[in-house]
Amino acid sequence: MFMTKGKPGGKRMVQKEGQKLKYFHLAEDLKGMILEGKVQAGEKLPSENELAERYKISRHTVRKALSILENEGYIYAEHGKGTFCSELVRHTKNSRNIAVVTTYLSDYIFPRVIQGIDEVLTDSGYSILLKSTRNSRKAEARCLEELLQKDIEGLIIEPSKSDIFCKHISLFERLEQYGVPYVFIQGCFAQMKDRPQVQMDDCQGGYLLASHLIATGHQRILGVFKADDTQGRQRHRGFVKALQEAGRMYDPDDIIWFHTEDRAVKPFAAVQEMVRQGRSFDAVVCYNDQIAVEVIKALEECRVSVPGQVSVTGYDNSFIAENSRIKLTTIAHPQEKLGEMAAKLLLDLIQNPGKVSGESQIVIKPELIVRESSGERKNNLY
């Protein structure tokens, strides 16, 4: 056991933290076995003494872990008999409940996506159980664990950080064991590319934006892309393809990568730093409309005019694309239509459980919308 030096009570504090980690670890381990089907409903768990011996912990620590699982409904105790795995809610296929899990709920394009889903499901007599992960993998796993205990007939999910390896595939496999179909929207984990999904062709979208800027005379084009989802990677891929087809050199230093956690600060700061360093460029392809607005602010603070000196493009054709001070050149995102298509696909899977996964993948072709944030480039780089 580690001891904290120089602080009164340091040893006691570390001991308490160690005990907490031990019962938390046991609770999570047992929960995982239940969710993965290694412990079946009604099956008796090992005794407190057996668990204490197996995990090299005290019976008191074992009891704390079991108390957590009992409170969460995973297990139940019978006096004099032991502890048993609960019978998680049976999926009766007649609850008329559909779960919808998105990264965010109330901003940007998400309300319209959800509206499209709701219109189709409501017309078909279903109710929506709405969840948000705020693009957190841990929150997504918690949502799925909770939904596994609810009587739902299907799930529509926008995966969190979809370009990062998924460690909770077992939760999706559990849905499959229950016969609960699910549809991915706006991204899909690499290990699950064969699952039902409705996606934008983001590679083609990135290609259209970069090709438009090349065709209008731009010479040095920067890219600002999100690194932790498949949309960002695919839009970057299309960006590179357009440069290559035009015979332009691709310079990795012309790309600004950002993550969910630093999206509010890094694109803005990185663009300003490039200007201060004297980097010459005359266009910026941005991951989405929100980022484009921030890039325009960053440039204008550095006294670089848009589109006079630098053209900027967005993606998604969100509300802000049309209503920002400088209307954005962007890619159309049929938000409500995407939601409608996902809902219709899910209903089809519910009604036709044997449908082949390959027949359940819909790709929406992008459309370029040209507005005033990009213009013909006739002058040299600023």
Tell me the backbone φ, ψ of residue 378, rounded to 5 degrees.
-110, -20
Assign 162 to helix, strand or coil: coil
Higher-confidence position of 17 and 340: 340
The residues spanned by each domain of the chain are 12-85, 97-195+335-360, 202-332
Band the pLDDT of 354: cuts 50, 70, 90.
Answer: confident
- Locate the DSSP E strands across 61-195: 75-78, 82-85, 97-102, 127-132, 154-157, 182-185
Write 177-181 long-range contacts (CB < 8 A, 24+): 177/37, 178/91, 178/148, 179/91, 179/93, 179/353, 180/91, 180/152, 180/153, 180/154, 180/155, 181/154, 181/155, 181/346, 181/349, 181/350, 181/353
d(CA 223, CA 99): 35
Tokens 């012309």, residue located? 254
- Same fold: 12-85 with 202-332: no
User: Ranked by mean pLDDT, which of 80-89, 100-109, 211-220 comes out on top?
Assistant: 211-220
Q: DSSP states of 196-209 as a string? A: -EEEE-HHHHHHHH
Per-residue pLDDT of 123-132, as tens digits, reads 999 999 999 9
Tell me the backbone φ, ψ of residue 311, rounded to 5 degrees.
-90, 145
Per-residue pLDDT of 40-58, as tens digits, reads 888 999 999 999 999 999 9
d(CA 216, CA 368): 14
The mean per-residue pLDDT over the stretch 134-150 comes to: 93
Q: Which residue in 267, 270, 282, 276 sits closest to 302, CA to CA?
A: 276
Among 2.60.40.10, 1.10.10.10, 1.10.645.10, 1.10.10.60, what is the CATH number of 12-85?
1.10.10.10
Contact 226, 260 (CB under 8 A): yes
Higher-confidence position of 316 and 68: 316
Question: What type of residue sits at position 371?
Answer: R
Question: In the CATH scheme, what is the code of domain 97-195+335-360?
Answer: 3.40.50.2300
- Can the peptide bond before residue 307 be classed as cis, meaning omega within 30 degrees of 0? yes
Work out the end-to-end distance of the chain between its first and last CA atoms, rounded to an integer number of angstroms: 61
Pairing of strands 154-157, 182-185: parallel
pLDDT for 150: 87
Report the run of H or E that residue 53 belongs to, with start and end.
Answer: helix 48-55
Q: Which residue in 113, 114, 117, 161 sits closest to 141, CA to CA?
A: 161
Q: DSSP states of 167-191 as a string? A: S-HHHHHHHHHTT--EEEES---GG
Fold of 202-332: Rossmann fold (3.40.50)
d(CA 223, CA 257): 8
pLDDT for 90: 60
